[in-house]
């Protein structure tokens, strides 16, 4: 990435960055309150810290995290903040803005070069990894795998990744166009049947230097995309001629979540869009080995979604509107719970809540709204297994024949 983009990124915080940072800040509060009771030191790692703040003085992720950790440090809890930044102009400013926080350390190196140290810290601390690169090419899952593998056995590790799915798909479409330009040469039987090491030679002999160079660029580009995605699944998505661009992006996010599921029990993704467009700029992917953490992340997601809705309605960014909890019509929540419950034989109350608010429903319904819906559906005999008078997270709920025969209109 060129230094021009690096510098301009921190000129001012764009509205979608404000929403992203709001999710981080909102989530940190309940997360830190939960993990402090584990009686282990707490460490947050900002793997792409940047300069720490924008030229406007608005805080970047390092200062947002530092502020929340300071609240615990002031109460006597042992906390640590590790901020990685390997571009010298950013590192020097980052180091300066972190001076008021003695528990924070600015580290002038690539985060992936310090995997062993991060893993060692994870073995003695509860850890949150915050992974927000400036460019999608920095988000290399082959390298992240080294971190995740190292901390696989540690149950106290969670992560937030900012995944630029649309930027990835643009790069994937470019790789596809490269392949199409040299498709005739690659489909030549002599080329197809050649050993991998001999393909370049035959392309040179039969089609010339330019085709060889295009093929080399294409292969390099595809290798990079496969490393970012953690597999070749992206190729089938970009080649699909029946899906829209938006659906391809959603499928990519779904497959990326599945890939991350190799390390984490819980993986969910929240789309973040500018106020002026419904098209997401990126997705915040949340990962945890602790399933109940979904309630915490989903509350942060709902807060962001509803704040943005109010801002769009009032046409004033972050107007400070206090969004009420009951903004979603009860009938809409009930339909979502019915859809989640109908195909099941039975499940725990909390599992039904997670099934309802997870997947592409992240940020739509709060845990409180879903709990109230489950109570209604129990009383109206759509579900059985509990009275519906109170929340019973471990109660085994069963869809009744009434729900099994339900057809959504």
3-state secondary structure 182-220: CHHHHCCHHHHCCCHHHHHHHHHHHHCHHHHHHHHHHHH
DSSP assignment of 310-365: HHHHHTSTT------S--S-HHHHHHHHHHHHTT-S-EEHHHHHHHHHSGGGTTTS
pLDDT tens digits, one per residue of 361-370: 999 999 999 9
Burial (CB count within 10 angstroms: exposed 0-12, middle 13-18, buried 19+), residue 329: exposed
**Helices 330-341 and 367-379, axial angle in degrees (round to 10):** 80
| 397: three-class secondary structure by DSSP | strand
pLDDT of 163 reads: 95
pLDDT of 196 reads: 63
Q: What's the pTM?
A: 0.86
Q: CB of 214 within 8 A of CB of 247? A: no
Continuous segment of H or E residues that includes residue 173? helix 165-181
Classify domain 330-404 by CATH number: 1.10.10
Across 320-329, average pLDDT: 54
Range scoring the smallest mean pLDDT among 38-47, 85-94, 173-182, 260-269: 173-182
Tokens of 351: 């599992």
Beta-sheet strand order (sheet of 396-399)? 347-348, 396-399, 383-384
| 241: three-class secondary structure by DSSP | coil
- For the chain, give the percent of residues with pLDDT over 90: 63
pLDDT tens digits, one per residue of 372-405: 999 999 999 999 999 999 999 999 999 999 999 9
- Inform me whether the pLDDT recorded for 202 exceeds 60: no
pLDDT band at 123 (very low <50, low <70, confident <90, very high): confident
Burial (CB count within 10 angstroms: exposed 0-12, middle 13-18, buried 19+), residue 356: buried
Residues in Cβ contact with 208 at an 8 Å cutoff, skipping those fewer than 6 apart: none
- What are the boundaries of each domain within the chain? 3-163+261-314, 167-237, 330-404
Same fold, 3-163+261-314 and 330-404: no
pLDDT of 248 reads: 93
| Higher pLDDT pick, 223 / 334 | 334
Antiparallel, parallel or unpaired: β 383-384 and 396-399: antiparallel
pLDDT tens digits, one per residue of 55-66: 899 999 999 999
pLDDT of 5 reads: 46
Alpha carbons within 13 angstroms on the beta-carbon side of residue 125 total 22
Phi then psi for residue 387, to 5 deg, are: -75, -30
The CATH class that applies to domain 3-163+261-314 reads: alpha beta
Tokens of 259: 């890939």
Nearest to 20 by CA among 296, 322, 276, 271: 271
């Amino acid at each position: 990435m060129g230094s021009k983009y690096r510098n301009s990124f921190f000129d001012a915080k764009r509205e979608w960055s404000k929403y992203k940072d709001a999710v981080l800040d909102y989530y940190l509060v309940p997360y830190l309150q939960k993990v402090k009771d584990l009686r282990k030191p707490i460490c947050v790692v900002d793997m792409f810290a940047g300069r720490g703040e924008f030229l406007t003085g608005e805080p970047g992720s390092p200062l947002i995290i530092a502020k929340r950790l300071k609240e615990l440090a002031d109460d006597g809890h042992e906390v640590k903040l590790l901020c990685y930044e390997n571009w010298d102009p950013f590192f020097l400013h980052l180091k300066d803005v972190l001076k008021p926080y003695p528990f924070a350390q600015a580290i002038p190196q690539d985060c992936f070069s310090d995997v062993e140290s991060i893993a060692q810290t994870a073995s003695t601390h509860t850890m949150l990894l915050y992974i927000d690169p400036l460019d999608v090419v920095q988000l290399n899952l082959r390298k992240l795998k080294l971190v995740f593998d190292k901390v696989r056995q540690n149950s106290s590790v969670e992560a937030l990744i900012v995944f630029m799915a649309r930027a990835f798909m643009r790069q994937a479409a470019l790789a596809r166009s490269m392949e199409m330009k040299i498709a005739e040469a690659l489909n030549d039987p002599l080329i197809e049947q050649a050993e991998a090491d001999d393909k370049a030679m035959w392309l040179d002999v039969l089609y010339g230097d330019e085709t060889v160079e295009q093929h080399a660029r294409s292969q390099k580009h595809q290798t990079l995309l496969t490393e970012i995605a953690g597999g070749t699944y992206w190729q089938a998505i970009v080649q699909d001629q029946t899906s829209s661009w938006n659906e391809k992006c959603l499928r990519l996010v779904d497959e990326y979540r599945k890939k991350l599921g190799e390390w984490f029990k819980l993986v969910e993704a929240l789309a973040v869009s500018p106020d002026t467009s419904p098209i997401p700029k990126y997705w915040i992917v949340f990962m945890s080995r602790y399933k109940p953490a979904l309630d915490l992340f989903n509350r942060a997601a709902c807060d962001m979604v509803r704040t943005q809705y109010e801002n769009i309605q009032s046409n004033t960014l972050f107007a400070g509107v206090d969004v009420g909890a009951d903004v979603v019509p009860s009938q809409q929540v009930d339909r979502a719970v019915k859809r989640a419950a109908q195909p099941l034989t039975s499940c725990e109350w909390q599992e039904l809540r997670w099934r309802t608010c997870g997947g592409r429903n992240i940020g739509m319904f709060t845990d409180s709204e879903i709990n109230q819906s489950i109570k209604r559906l129990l009383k109206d005999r759509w579900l059985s297994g509990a009275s519906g008078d109170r929340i019973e997270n471990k109660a085994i709920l069963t869809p009744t024949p009434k729900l099994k025969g339900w057809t959504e209109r």
